Amino acid sequence: MDSRQQRLLDLRDILNRHNYNYYVLNAPEISDRDFDMLMKELEALEADFPEMADPYSPTQRVGSDLSDKFEQARHIYPMLSLSNTYSIHEVDEWFGRVRGALEGEKFEVVGEMKYDGTSISLIYEHGRLVRAVTRGDGERGDVVTANIKTIKSIPLELRGSGWPDMFEIRGEILMPWKEFDRLNKEREYNEEPLFANPRNAASGTLKTLDSREVARRGLDAFFYYLLGPDLPFDNHYANMMAAREWGFKVSPIMTLLHSLEQVDQFINHWDTARRELPVATDGLVFKVNNLRQQLNLGYTAKSPRWAVAYKFPAERACTRLRFVSFEVGRMGIVTPVANLDPVLLSGTVVKRASLHNEDIIRSLDIHEEDMLYVEKGGEIIPKITGVDENGRLPGAKPVRFVHFCPACATPLVRVEGEASWQCPNRFGCPPQIAGRIEHFVGRKMMNIEGIGEETVEQLYKRGYIKNIADLYDLTTDQLLLLDGFGPRSAERVLEGLEASKSIPYDRVIYALSIPFVGDTVARKVAKAFPDIDLLMAATTDQLAATKDIGPRIAQSITEYFANPANRETVARLRAAGLQFAAPEESTEGATDLLGGKTFVISGTFTHHSRDEYKDLIERNGGKNVSSISRKTDYVFAGANMGPAKLEKATSLGIPIIDEATFLDMIGQPL
């Protein structure tokens, strides 16, 4: 395998991770533009290496926001993504392709605002809302009808007349800036994590299980597309104007454009004017108006040819670097941060931006008090993108990375194979200690109420806690000495500590801050080693043999438990009553019906999810493998199984079974 083929495989992993961050965690790490550039690179490589085609490649699917907390439903019409452009020139090229494909036939284009929220599909029957489904993976989505009904701008019953007996309308659920600011102020007051932007807030709110909380958060919606077998008009614009009459909030920005010049004027106007809008936006959308022409233009594998998105360029500003600070995280990684003269970007004041590592500082060639270009990637995360060398002060010296920990003066060490520098003083460096305590008490870990960053800082400075185990020795008298603490505050902390003793074993492992062990790895480790004694006794080879646990993670776990200080902490936490074993009921229902048989799962299923089927295989003594070989016993095939896997299984003579057959094998009814 040459380097370009390896890059292809790496890009698939990278893009799958970013899809998960964006659609499931609502925590994007890169801008939309950077994501699209990676996607285009992967598309080009896959075109060069057709033998490496994979139906599960990110280029063949739409990112998913599915949740196992909601019922799921299949979309009547797939919800495809739009292809993105980043310049007027690229939009003009799309316009030219449409004109060529229509062979000179006249056509109109509808210009629309691309709102930055979360997509929704609504089904109406007999003039009433009957179902609301999120975009999901484009084929299936989560049913969130109860939550959608709380949004006052969405009609539950239609007004007027002329609407089809059944139709689907699609739109964007939004959180207006004023509601976003109000919600974040509340969350800050309650010491809850702040939402990064209105899109995250809207998406998170829509997946809230309590519809009363959804109603309180002030969501809004704009609608942009009508589908159905019996639409009133033969063009998109007239259908949306009709939908407005039926009670839907259709953007007044939607405009019928008759020429390429008008398309370009629309872009130039809204590149600036959109900043005055009360909701977040991230681009424009252009659609061929005539439905017959849309049908003739058709679709690619993942997007319609009759529509295109234009993404606004990231807002950019130039501001003076005041100084670079070096900050230490809970794992000892030292991160350089540019502290800037305040500058307004995308509605917020930016004063700081991460420089990530020493290599970034060198590649940008940053000098003291330079004028730096700052962008907000995807209008979310401030990013230093360049230096205005014309603004460099005479005699300014290059910014140098520190060689000693800024917190404890310990010499830094380079992380092997990475660009990061690390402070090795794990048990004596204050920000590492405080960071691990803050991580331990966090909502996804031990969820201890009443202890935030400021409280941890006070407790550490007063000498009450020096590691996570000290939390369980805190007393009411100690807590009452903290600034801002009264009897009820102290009681809340102690109640939270007591409640944390019932947190499951896998979350306790995650809370320990073992390097490279996140929540997903912690669950896998807890399943493979169902009590802490087994885990502490495990060798690196035993850990590396666990599914999805590579050599680096295995080495990190064994090194963690080889340290006597960590073993002492675990012993104290166990004595305090924390859960250090998986509950016995987790092994209930286990059988040997599949007796070591290996299965490859492919496709989509009706009665259980893929993960649930994988769990059933393992619970019944089978083994899941990812690729088909002569050693594979069965291919468990659902709908839309990849043709390459089907062909390989057939050529090797491996039995292909469906859901009914598999469930019969383990004695479960359909």
- CA 557 – CA 512 distance, rounded (Å): 11
Nearest to 410 by CA among 338, 328, 472, 345: 328
Enumerate residues 6+ apart whose C-beta is below 8 A from 9. 52
Q: Supply φ then ψ for residue 291, to 5 degrees.
A: -70, -35
Task: List beta partners, residue 367.
Answer: 398
Q: Any idea which residue has 């809340």 for tokens?
A: 492
Q: Using an 8 Å Cβ cutoff, are 458 and 437 in contact? A: no
Nearest to 171 by CA among 118, 207, 125, 227: 118
Nearest to 138 by CA among 5, 274, 299: 299
What is the SS3 assignment for 304?
strand
φ/ψ of residue 47, rounded to 5:
-65, -35
Q: Which residue has the tokens 């019953």?
A: 157
Instruction: Using CB atoms within 10 Å of the CB of residue 78, give its burial: 0 to 12 exposed, 13 to 18 middle, 19+ buried.
Output: middle
User: Pairing between strand 140-142 and 166-174?
Assistant: unpaired
CB burial of 314-348 (b: ≥16 within 10 Å; e: otherwise) equals beebebebeebebebbbbbbbebebebeebebbee
What is the Cα–Cα distance from 510 to 513, expressed in whole angstroms? 6
CA torsion angle for 90, 94, 99, 101 (degrees, to 10)? 140
Report the alpha-carbon angle 373-375-381, nearest 5.
135
| Nearest 10 degrees: Cα torsion 647, 652, 655, 659 | -30
The structure tokens listed for 157 are 């019953």
Contact residues for 320 (Cβ-Cβ < 8 A; gap 6+): 340, 341, 369, 370, 371, 372, 391
Look at the chain and count its residues. 670
Helix/strand/coil (H/E/C) assignment for every residue in 559-585: HHHHCHHHHHHHHHHHHHCCCCECCHH
Q: Cα(581)–Cα(532) distance, rounded to whole angstroms?
A: 6
Which position among 40, 106, 114, 311 bears the catalytic label?
Answer: 114
Evaluate whether 525 touches 510 at the Cβ level (below 8 Å). Answer: no
Asked about 114 being catalytic, the answer comes back as yes
List residues with catalytic annotation: 114
